Amino acid sequence: MVANAATIGRSGIHDFILIRATALILTAYTFFIVCFLACTPELTYDIWKSLFSQIWVKAFTLISLFALLIHAWIGLWQVLTDYVKCVGLRLFLQFVLNLAAISYLATGAVILWGV
């Protein structure tokens, strides 16, 4: 069996389950934010700050950012493998785009937790 270091999962089935699980997390987070915005008549900085000062919102946001990283990593690998046939270009694109996804997670963690 050939191991592929570009994927997070150990197999296609594992990748499939990870994609579906992360999609559910991202859907739940999107639904939460949309409902909050729809139910808040006047959105001010103080209201937004008080929402994100709660530990469970920070944790949910960080979990969603991590889910986004996993979802993007696997999705980029699948799309680039299918559509970019030049191996060198594909590896370069994977590196750059995955580096961007990791930087989004790191930036989000710093913003949320002030680490």
* pLDDT tens readout for residues 22-49: 999 999 999 999 999 999 999 999 999 9
Residue 77 within any structural domain of the chain: yes
Give the closest residue to 106 by CA, choosing from 57, 68, 60, 52. Answer: 68
Encoded tokens for 50: 């008080």
29 is in an annotated binding site: no
At 59-94, the pLDDT tens digits run 999 999 999 999 999 999 999 999 999 999 999 999
Residue 5 within any structural domain of the chain: no
Residue 1 within any structural domain of the chain: no
Domain extent for 30: 12-113
Encoded tokens for 36: 């909050």
Q: What is the pTM of this model?
A: 0.84
| Mean pLDDT of all residues in 6-17 | 76
Residue 4 within any structural domain of the chain: no
Residue 62 within any structural domain of the chain: yes
Task: Give the CATH number for residue 55.
Answer: 1.20.1300.10
Encoded tokens for 71: 């979802």
For 3, 18, 35, 48, 87, the CA distances from 60, given in Å and listed in that order, are 32, 17, 15, 15, 37
Residue 25 within any structural domain of the chain: yes
Residue by residue, DSSP assigns 30-98 as HHHHHHHHHH-SS--HHHHHHHHTSHHHHHHHHHHHHHHHHHHHHHHHHHHHHH---HHHHHHHHHHHH
What's the domain count of the chain?
1
45 is in an annotated binding site: no
